Amino acid sequence: MSTEAFLGALKEAVPDPRCELNYRNPFELLIATQLSAQSTDVMVNKVTPSLFQRWPDARALAAAELPAVEEILRPTGFFRNKAKHAVETAAILLRDHDGQVPRTVEELIKLPGVARKTANVVLGTAFGIPSGITVDTHAHRVSLRWGWHREKQPEKVEKILMERVPKEEWIAFGHRLVLHGRYTCLAREPACGRCSLRELCPVGRGEPDPYRSGGADVTPRRVTKKDAGSTLIAPPTSPEPGPAPRKAEGPASPRGGAGKGRR
């Protein structure tokens, strides 16, 4: 099936591609995306109002007392690391970028807890810069079921997606893939019966599900230390760690909706 057919059906399935993290500016989106690792957008959206009310910018957060930040971030899981990364990130933004969020992947991935995935989310969502395609556990799973790859490393999956999808579509496509996996192409039980991609998708046509088969060659790798401050890549059979199980065409609307799915 042609890439165009998949893209068209995906647009039909997800007409409103967007990031479900609430934010008012690039700084808030960067921190919120870091916090979404091993958590949910819903949970992150619950804690960020308190966080940004108390420490609204990089200067304020860089001067924050770590225990106070930890306490606010506690519900998101891995809160000590997340608090440390957030405060360190704010300090680096203040020291090296005049308190602003840099606009390149190279500069973003120098920040603690920021891997390429988080950089893509921030650049695409906050600035409308198509730096790549966000490959979280949802994007990995959906594209795997489509038969677009048999890779377990998100970096390799991203490269394949970037080669297939026109660059002008990268940002919206990334959001759509994540949202489709979050709400329709579910890990345990994909809702093929109501999926507009059913005629295109091998799994939808009744072929074995490579995701559920647990093949070692396609099982997404575990979260790395660097990814831990970014969106998730988790193996399909792992229990959801942290708290309640739970990342974004052009710059998305600030303070938007509240997603439930894990990143």
- Footprint on this chain of ligand SF4 (rule: CB under 6 A): 142, 145, 184-185, 190-192, 195, 197-198, 201, 203-204
* Smaller CB separation from ligand SF4, 42 or 192: 192
* Smaller CB separation from ligand SF4, 6 or 78: 6
User: Minimal distance in Å, beta carbon 13 to ligand SF4?
Assistant: 8
The residues annotated with a catalytic role in the active site are 117, 136
Angle between helix 116-127 and 26-35 (nearest 10): 150
* Smaller CB separation from ligand SF4, 114 or 157: 157
* Smaller CB separation from ligand SF4, 49 or 208: 208
User: Minimal distance in Å, beta carbon 167 to ligand SF4?
Assistant: 23
Residue nearest to ligand SF4 (CB): 204
Residue 130 CA to residue 249 CA, distance in Å, equals 10
* Smaller CB separation from ligand SF4, 91 or 160: 160
Tokens of 50: 């308190």
User: Minimal distance in Å, beta carbon 249 to ligand SF4?
Assistant: 20
Tokens of 160: 């394949």
Contact in structure between 250 and 127 (CB atoms under 8 Å): no
User: Minimal distance in Å, beta carbon 181 to ligand SF4?
Assistant: 8
User: Minimal distance in Å, beta carbon 15 to ligand SF4?
Assistant: 16
